[in-house]
C-alpha cells in the first residue's frame, strides 16, 4: 500500500465533510429559508431579525448532526496518523557496536517516510541465551539477529517464527558474515600459525563456551573442520579438540567476554573469536596481531521477524522494514566498518581490500546442517560434553 494513501483518504473525507455539513447546508438555508423570508418580510424589520434567528437554529441542527459523524471518524483519523511504535530487537553480543550506528539511521528514515517515531528496546547477549531467555522466556522480541541459524530454528520449534523464515529476507536471511581468527600476543611467542598449533603443550587459549556462545560454536566447528578437511576422521578430530580445550582454563559466556579477558585483562596466549572482533579491537586502539587460518568456516548470521510477537504487537510492517534496511548499502557499510564481511555484493566489492581471501572456505551444510550439528556435537551428553568431561577427570 502506498504510504500516502491514508493521508489522501483523510483529505478526501474532510473535503467531503465540509461540503456536506457546511457548504451545502448554508446554500440550502440561503435559498429556501433566508431569501424567501427576506423577500416576504422585506418591509418588516422585526421579521428580518426573526428570519436570521430561524436560519441560525437550522444551521445548528445540521452541524450537530454532522458532528456525530465527526466523532465516529476521530478514531479512524487517529489510526491513520499512528502514535509512536515500540520495536523490541534482540541480538548477540558482538553486534551492538554496529547497531549503535544503524538503528538511529533507520529511525530517521522511518520518521521521514511515515511521520512516526520508533522506540527501540534492545538486548545484546550470547546468542543461545538470547534465544531462550530474551525470546522464549522473556522479552517479546519483534526482530532477532542471532549468531546461528540453529538458534532461529529453536524459535521455529517453539512456535515463535513460522517455517520458511529463510525465504523472507534476501540472501536466505543471512545479513552478516565473518570468519574465525586466532589473536596472538605481540611477537607471536608461542609460534602459532595454524589450528594444529593450538593443541601444543603450554598454550593457554581464551574462547567462549559453545553451550552459550554462537561464536564459540563456530570456533568448535572450525577446529573440527580443520581435521576433517585435511583427511582426518572423527576420532582424530575428537582427540585434537580435546587437547585444544585442555588448553582453555575458562570458558566465558560470550564472545565479547572472551575478548575482554584477552585484550583488557591480559589472560591467555591466544584468543579464538570472530575476525570482526579483531578488527573492532584495532579500531579501538589496541594492537591486535592475529592469524586467519587457511581452512575456515563461513560464519553466517541470520535475521528474522518473530511472527508470533509482531502479530501480537501490530509491528509487522515496521519489523519487516527494519530487516530490509539492514541489507541496504548504508547498513552494510556500517557492518563492514566494524569487521563484518558484507553480504551486499556491491559493498563486498567496495571493501574487499579490508578482508583477506581465505584459501578453503567450508559451510555448516558441509558438516550435515544445523540439525545434525546440534545432535552430534552440542546436545546433552554428545561430543562436546564428553570432551569437557575428560578435562574434569
348 lies in some domain: no
pTM: 0.75
Residues 62 and 117 in one domain: no
351 lies in some domain: no
- Residue 280 is predicted with a pLDDT of 85
Residues 89 and 172 in one domain: yes
DSSP for 306-368 reads -HHHHHHHT-HHHHHHHHHHHTSHHHHHHHHHTTPBPSSHHHHHHTGGGSPPPSEEE-GGGGT
Low-confidence ranges of the chain (pLDDT < 70): 1-82, 126-137, 392-393
Residues 243 and 132 in one domain: no
Return the residue matching grid coordinates 448554508: 26
- Residue 201 is predicted with a pLDDT of 96
Residues 97 and 164 in one domain: yes
206 lies in some domain: yes
The set of cell numbers assigned to 17 is 465533510
Residues 254 and 385 in one domain: yes
Residues 207 and 172 in one domain: no
354 lies in some domain: no
Residues 115 and 58 in one domain: no
Residues 54 and 114 in one domain: no
384 lies in some domain: yes
Residues 68 and 89 in one domain: no
The domain of 28 spans 5-76
- Residue 392 is predicted with a pLDDT of 59
List, in order, residues 6 or more apart from 317 with CB less than 8 Å away.
none
Please, which residues bridge with residue 77 across strands? none
The helix/strand/coil state of 184 is: strand
Residues 383 and 267 in one domain: yes
Task: Show which of 76, 95, 117 is a domain's final residue.
Answer: 76
Under a CB-based contact definition with an 8 Å cutoff, are residues 316 and 336 in contact?
Answer: no
* Secondary structure letter of residue 120 according to DSSP: E
Residues 260 and 185 in one domain: yes
Task: Show which of 53, 76, 99 is a domain's final residue.
Answer: 76
- Residue 82 is predicted with a pLDDT of 63
- Residue 285 is predicted with a pLDDT of 83
The set of cell numbers assigned to 80 is 491513520
* Furthest-apart CA atoms within the chain: distance in Å: 120
Distance CA 269, CA 288 (A): 12
- Residue 305 is predicted with a pLDDT of 97
109 lies in some domain: yes
> H/E element holding 88?
strand 85-92
347 lies in some domain: no
Residues 264 and 212 in one domain: yes
The set of cell numbers assigned to 28 is 440550502
Number of separate domains in the chain: 3
CATH number at residue 376: 3.40.190.10
121 lies in some domain: yes
- Residue 254 is predicted with a pLDDT of 87
- CB hemisphere CA count around 125 (13 angstroms): 14
The helix-helix angle for 255-263 and 275-283 (nearest 10°) equals: 50
Task: Show which of 28, 44, 76 is a domain's final residue.
Answer: 76
List, in order, residues 6 or more apart from 121 with CB less than 8 Å away.
86, 87, 88, 89, 139
Rounded to 5°, the CA angle 311-314-316 comes to: 70
Amino acid at each position: 500500500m502506498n504510504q500516502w494513501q491514508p493521508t489522501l483518504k483523510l483529505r478526501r473525507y474532510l473535503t467531503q465533510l465540509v461540503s456536506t455539513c457546511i457548504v451545502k447546508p448554508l446554500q440550502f438555508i440561503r435559498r429556501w429559508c433566508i431569501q424567501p423570508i427576506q423577500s416576504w418580510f422585506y418591509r418588516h424589520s422585526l421579521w428580518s431579525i426573526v428570519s436570521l434567528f430561524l436560519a441560525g437554529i437550522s444551521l445548528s441542527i445540521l452541524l450537530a448532526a454532522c458532528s456525530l459523524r465527526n466523532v465516529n471518524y476521530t478514531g479512524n483519523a487517529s489510526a491513520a496518523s499512528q502514535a509512536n511504535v515500540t520495536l523490541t530487537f534482540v541480538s548477540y553480543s558482538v553486534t551492538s557496536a554496529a547497531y549503535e550506528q544503524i538503528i538511529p539511521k533507520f529511525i530517521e528514515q522511518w520518521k521521514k517516510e511515515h511521520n512516526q517515531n520508533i522506540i527501540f528496546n534492545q538486548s545484546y547477549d550470547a546468542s543461545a541465551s538470547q534465544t531462550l531467555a530474551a525470546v522464549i522466556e522473556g522479552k517479546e522480541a519483534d526482530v532477532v539477529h542471532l549468531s546461528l541459524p540453529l538458534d532461529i530454528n529453536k524459535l521455529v520449534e517453539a512456535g515463535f517464527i513460522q517455517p520458511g523464515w529463510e525465504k523472507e529476507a534476501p540472501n536466505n536471511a543471512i545479513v552478516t558474515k565473518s570468519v574465525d581468527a586466532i589473536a596472538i600476543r605481540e611477537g607471536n611467542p608461542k609460534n602459532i600459525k595454524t589450528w594444529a598449533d593450538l593443541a601444543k603443550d603450554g598454550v593457554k587459549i581464551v574462547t567462549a563456551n559453545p553451550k552459550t556462545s554462537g561464536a564459540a560454536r563456530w570456533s568448535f566447528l572450525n577446529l573440527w573442520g580443520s581435521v576433517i578437511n585435511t583427511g582426518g576422521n572423527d576420532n582424530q578430530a575428537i582427540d585434537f579438540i580435546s587437547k585444544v580445550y585442555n588448553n582453555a582454563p575458562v570458558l566465558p559466556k560470550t564472545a565479547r567476554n572472551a575478548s575482554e579477558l584477552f585484550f583488557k585483562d591480559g589472560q591467555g596466549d591466544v584468543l579464538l573469536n570472530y575476525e570482526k572482533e579483531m578488527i573492532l579491537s584495532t579500531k579501538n586502539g589496541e594492537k591486535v596481531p592475529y592469524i586467519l587460518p587457511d581452512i575456515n568456516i563461513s560464519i553466517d548470521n541470520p535475521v528474522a521477524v518473530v511472527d508470533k510477537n509482531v502479530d501480537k504487537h501490530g509491528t509487522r510492517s515496521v519489523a519487516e522494514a527494519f530487516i530490509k534496511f539492514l541489507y541496504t548499502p548504508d547498513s552494510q557499510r556500517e557492518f563492514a566498518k566494524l569487521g563484518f564481511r558484507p553480504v551486499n555484493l556491491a559493498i563486498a566489492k567496495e571493501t574487499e581490500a579490508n578482508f583477506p581471501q581465505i584459501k578453503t572456505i567450508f559451510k555448516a551444510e558441509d558438516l550435515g546442517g544445523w540439525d545434525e550439528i546440534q545432535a552430534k556435537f552440542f546436545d546433552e551428553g554428545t561430543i562436546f560434553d564428553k570432551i569437557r568431561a575428560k578435562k574434569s577427570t
